[in-house]
């Protein structure tokens, strides 16, 4: 077999060589070569991208890690942004469900940042003279673990990509990390995977996050509980209230529920001590991605309605709206004289919630409050302005995690520059991220890039002050703390950020429900 293959390749080389010698413009039949199947055996030998582009057109590249021709695109990875023809190009990847409402703004955040690096390319490797364009291969992982793993295998095995930004969901990120990026020493930076499980992951220092662990978001909900309890008792005259925690069965939902429940206090007692008395209920409604045991939303709603809670902590994503909130409201026992107050995480700040409230009674939105990591201020406003000037698909720059994705690309690009002449491998890039937490403050934006490059090339560090907030990475865990913003709903609009927030540094709410109610029109 090896002899026949060698003869075949030699024959192709002779034919092509003769054709070029004769002045013919020959395009190789790419179907004869095995490419793009998640394997290192991706094609024929090459020394530059043009060798592969003659075979595969604009879709061909010559990865420096293999020097074997590969197709850039795959079934999942269909978008290529940047000067992919350049032999100096640095390829990175992204993994998001960008055809879903929750994933599109996150991918857009990455691409908005990429545009700023396209105007100021990465500096040359020390000792070289040509600047390096940054190229993004964007993959639609559909929010599905096996799909994301296939896409990551293509990025890593076929294209030799040293860093991936993604995925949107903690359970998907965990699968990609364990099955692809950690074994292959590739850097993985997620802007939105918040599960505490990732903090404890044995990752060889290769998994980082521009979003905080949900432990901090749970702390914000714990701080809200005394305010909610007081309001519920005043409104209903109840001596004791009932609280339910309803959560998705994935890493995100379970992570928030497990961070909240053991510390939750109301009725002057710990929540877990009130299960037998019928005042606390925790209910896992399952994971929509689990085809073997799909969620039974109807059963979850029946249990919640029968429990008659005053406060519901709801931890999930798009499925929290129609199957859960809408049906709970529709089947609620109106004879009780009260309806539950919903406290949601960042995953529920989705267009589906706005669409539901557009047809629901106005009173419904007044019983909803959510949280999301982030910050407000000039840097975030600058990001919003840039996003709106470049993205015209109807998505919002205020969507959860879009700005964190923007910062994720910045940190990956800076880590590439920090690697200098060292090989672009995950461990070297991770060491570059460690140089973004101290020294002179550098903000995002094209005007600041060359100053950042100069510091990194000189071996210095700087403090990257991101659009999503200061990214003071913990070098051990690869994550940064963040303040937690509070959001509420306006009729026919996206979530609005309230003037009250949970300070991660102080560990407390800055402001209270009166300010939220005045701002949100409760």
In angstroms, what CA-CA distances link 448 with 63, 120, 442, 454? 30, 10, 7, 10
Q: What is the pLDDT of residue 26?
A: 31
Tokens for 290? Answer: 């689990």
CA proximity to 51, closest of 22, 20, 5: 20
Both ends of the chain: CA-CA distance in Å?
75
d(CA 384, CA 240): 44
- The pLDDT assigned to 398 comes to 86
pLDDT at 53 over 50: yes
pLDDT at 351: 85
Q: What percent of the chain has pLDDT over 90?
A: 77
Q: What would the two tokens of residue 83 be?
A: 């000067």
The answer for 38, left when phi > 0, alpha when psi is -120 to 50, beta otherwise, is left
User: Band of the pLDDT at 17, cuts 50, 70, 90?
Assistant: very low
**For 201-215, 412-426, 474-488, which range has the lowest pLDDT when averaged over its residues?**
474-488
Taking the C-alpha atoms of residue 304 and residue 445, their distance in angstroms, rounded to an integer, is: 47
Residue 168 phi, psi dihedral angles, 5° rounding = -75, -30
CA distance 447 to 111: 18
Q: Of the given ranges (119-123, 191-195, 517-521), which has the lowest mean pLDDT? A: 517-521
SS3 (DSSP) at 437: strand
Q: What are phi and psi of 266, to 5 degrees?
A: -155, 165
Q: Is 92 helix (H, G, I), strand (E, B) or coil?
A: strand
Helix, strand or coil, per DSSP, at residue 217: helix
Q: State the Cα–Cα distance between residues 191 and 294, nearest whole angstrom.
A: 27
What average pLDDT is seen over the chain?
Answer: 89
Is there a contact between 363 and 74 (Cβ–Cβ < 8 Å)?
no
Give the model's confidence band at 377: pLDDT under 50 very low, under 70 low, under 90 confident, else very high: confident
User: Which segment of 9-23, 381-395, 412-426, 480-494 scores lowest on mean pLDDT?
Assistant: 9-23
Segment 96-119 mean pLDDT? 93
Contact 215, 254 (CB under 8 A): no
Return all residues near 458 (Cβ < 8 A) that are at least 6 apart. Answer: none
Query: What is the reported pLDDT for 112?
Result: 97
β-bridge mates for residue 497, sequence order: 487
SS3 of 227-270 = HHHHHHHHHHCCCCCCEEEEECCCHHHHHHHHHHHHHCEECCEE
**In the prediction, which pLDDT does 14 show?**
38
Under 8 Å between Cβ of 341 and 232: yes
The whole-angstrom separation of Cα 287 and Cα 281 is 19
Taking only the tens place, the pLDDT of each residue in 270-293 is 999 999 999 999 999 999 888 888
Q: Is 31 exposed, middle or buried (0-12, 13-18, 19+ CB in 10 A)?
A: exposed
3-state DSSP call for residue 291? coil
Q: Which of 53, 231, 203, 164 is nearest to 409 (CA)?
A: 164
* pLDDT at residue 264 greater than cutoff 60: yes
Predicted local distance difference test score (pLDDT) of residue 404: 96
Instruction: Look up residue 457 and give its two tokens.
Output: 């090339």
Which pLDDT score is estimated for 374? 84
d(CA 223, CA 226): 7
pLDDT higher at 475 or 159 = 159
Question: How confident is the model at residue 367, as a pLDDT?
Answer: 94
Burial class for 2, CB neighbours closer than 10 Å (0-12, 13-18, 19+): exposed
% of the chain at pLDDT higher than 70: 91
**CA distances in angstroms from 72 to 157, 198, 454, listed in the order given:** 11, 30, 31
Say if residue 28's pLDDT is above 60.
no
pLDDT at 491: 65
pLDDT band at 39 (very low <50, low <70, confident <90, very high): very low
Residue 492's pLDDT is 60
Q: What is the mean pLDDT of residues 480-494?
A: 83
The structure tokens 């700087």 sit at 462
Say which residue, 42 or 355, is predicted with more confidence: 355
Helix (H) or strand (E) holding 487: strand 484-488
Closest-CA residue to 431 (of 444, 418, 413) = 418
pLDDT at 402 over 80: yes
pLDDT of residue 496: 86
The reported pTM is 0.84
227 contacts: CB under 8 Å, gap ≥ 6: 512, 513
| Residue 126 to residue 417: CA distance in whole angstroms | 10
Count other Cβ atoms within 10 Å, centred on residue 180.
Answer: 24
Q: Give the list of residues 6+ apart from residue 11 with CB closer than 8 angstroms, or none.
A: none
**Average pLDDT, stretch 102-130?**
94
Per residue in 59-85, pLDDT tens? Answer: 999 998 889 999 999 999 999 999 999
- Could you say which DSSP state residue 86 is in? -
Is the bond into 127 cis (omega within 30 degrees of 0)? Answer: no
């Amino acid at each position: 077999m090896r002899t026949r293959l060698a003869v075949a390749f030699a024959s192709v080389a002779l034919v092509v060589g003769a054709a070029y010698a004769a002045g013919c413009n020959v395009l190789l039949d790419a179907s004869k070569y095995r490419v793009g199947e998640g394997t290192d055996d991706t094609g024929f030998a090459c020394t530059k991208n043009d060798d592969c582009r003659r075979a595969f057109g604009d879709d061909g590249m010559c990865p420096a890690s293999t020097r074997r021709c590969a197709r850039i695109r795959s079934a999942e990875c269909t978008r290529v942004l940047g000067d992919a023809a350049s032999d100096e190009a640095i390829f990175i990847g992204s993994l998001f469900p960008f055809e879903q409402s929750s994933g599109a703004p996150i991918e857009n955040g990455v691409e908005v940042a990429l545009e700023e690096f396209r105007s100021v390319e990465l500096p040359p490797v020390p000792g070289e003279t040509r600047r390096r364009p940054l190229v993004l291969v964007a993959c639609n992982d559909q929010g599905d673990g096996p799909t994301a793993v296939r896409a990551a295998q293509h990025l890593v095995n076929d294209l030799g990509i040293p860093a991936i930004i993604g995925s949107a969901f903690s359970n998907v990120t965990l699968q990609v990390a364990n099955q692809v990026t950690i074994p292959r020493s590739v850097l993985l930076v997620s802007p939105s995977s918040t599960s505490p499980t990732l903090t404890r992951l044995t990752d060889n220092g290769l998994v980082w996050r521009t979003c905080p662990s949900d432990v901090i978001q749970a702390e914000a909900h714990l701080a809200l509980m005394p305010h909610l309890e007081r309001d519920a008792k005043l409104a209903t005259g109840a001596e004791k209230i009932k609280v339910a925690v309803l959560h998705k069965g994935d890493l995100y939902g379970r992570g928030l529920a497990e961070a909240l429940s053991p510390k939750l206090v109301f009725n002057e007692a710990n929540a877990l001590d009130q299960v037998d008395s019928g005042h606390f209920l925790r209910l896992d409604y399952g994971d929509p991605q689990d085809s073997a045991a799909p969620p039974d939303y109807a059963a979850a709603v029946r249990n919640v309605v029968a429990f008659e809670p005053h406060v519901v902590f709801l931890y999930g994503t798009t499925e929290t709206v129609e199957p859960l909130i809408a049906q709970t409201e529709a089947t609620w026992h109106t004879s009780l004289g009260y309806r539950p107050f919903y406290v949601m995480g960042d995953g529920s700040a989705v267009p589906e919630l706005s669409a539901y409230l557009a047809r629901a009674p106005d009173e419904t939105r007044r019983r909803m409050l959510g949280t999301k990591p982030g910050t407000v201020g000039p840097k975030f406003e600058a990001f919003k302005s840039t996003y709106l000037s470049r993205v015209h698909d109807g998505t919002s720059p205020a969507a959860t995690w879009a700005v964190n994705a923007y910062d994720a690309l910045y940190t990956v690009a800076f880590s590439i520059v920090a690697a200098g002449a060292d090989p672009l491998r995950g461990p070297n890039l991770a060491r570059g991220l460690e140089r973004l937490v101290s020294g002179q403050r550098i903000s995002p934006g094209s005007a600041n890039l060359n100053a950042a490059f100069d510091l990194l090339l000189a071996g210095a560090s700087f403090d990257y002050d991101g659009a999503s907030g200061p990214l003071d990475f913990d070098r051990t865990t690869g994550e940064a703390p963040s303040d937690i913003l509070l959001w509420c709903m306006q009729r026919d609009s996206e979530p609005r950020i309230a003037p009250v927030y949970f300070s991660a540094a102080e560990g407390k709410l800055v402001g209270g429900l009166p300010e939220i109610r005045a701002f949100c029109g409760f």
